[in-house]
Amino acid sequence: MKIHSFLILPIAILAMSGCVSRYALLEHPITKEQKYCSNKGWGWIGAPLAISEHNDCLDQLQAQGYKTINNRPSTNNEDNKKAGDAKASASSLATTEYQNGKASVSEKTINSKNGYFKITLPSGWIQKKPPQALQNVDVQVYAENPQKDLVLLITTENASDIQDLSGYGKLLQSKLSEELSESNSSGIHRINVNGHDAIRFDTSGIAQGVKVHYLMTVLQTEKELIKLNGWTVESKFHNSRRELEALTEEVYLQ
């Protein structure tokens, strides 16, 4: 049981802020085919994610034999040029929907990786490929709202391993608090989500000098515990709490 799995990304990505734009042109030495990796992100959440995804894109293409011709932060003019070029090669890049994904203007229902449940993401949210920092975590759904600096990570636990849902919640809360300085946690609340018993708590604190706030909800189903962890920076949590709570209400078993 990887109790700490939901902590890995929040702690890792909050070391950076601001706006970043990354652009790289790669060419295959034999076929001479060229492909692009291009990523842009804003804010405490978006900027580190852009860098992580850019590195993932480079790793995948280099594994296929492509060599980097140019790899640097891009200017606005380069962004405009590479956007058209990248679109032309999108069909040949398996991760294009993640690398060049844009926020959906309408709701989108997606299935979990194991097919056990589905969730409807509201407008503004993007389903993303989990960053490299989560490569050893069995992520079921990973999504973000880049305009609001919100992130959602969903993992599961075998329900037969957990006998006391409230006790499990206290353990999760304790593990999260240990990773933060000046941590503060709410009580653990028993709730009902779409007919399923569930618990919810929020924890705030400082991670690498940044004030962060997490909202954790755990749904108890017959086979799996579905763990939804949403987070953002402290200053945005109050106005975003209801949106993070509402995501839980969009989870349904298949």
240 pLDDT more than 80:
yes
State the Cα–Cα distance between residues 108 and 170, nearest whole angstrom. 33
pLDDT in tens, 92-135: 333 333 334 444 557 899 999 999 999 999 999 999 888 777 77
Domain 102-253, CATH? 3.40.1000.10
pLDDT on residue 178: 86
Q: Is 215 exposed, middle or buried (0-12, 13-18, 19+ CB in 10 A)?
A: buried
Separation CA 152–CA 244 (nearest Å): 8
Q: Where are the domains of the chain?
A: 13-99, 102-253
pLDDT greater than 90 at residue 11: no
Burial of 51 (0-12, 13-18, 19+ CB in 10 A): middle
Using alpha carbons, select from 87, 94, 5 the residue that is nearest to residue 57: 94
| The model's pTM | 0.66
Residue 238, pLDDT score: 95
| CA 130, 134, 136, 137 torsion-angle sign | negative
Residues 85-98: what's their mean pLDDT?
A: 36
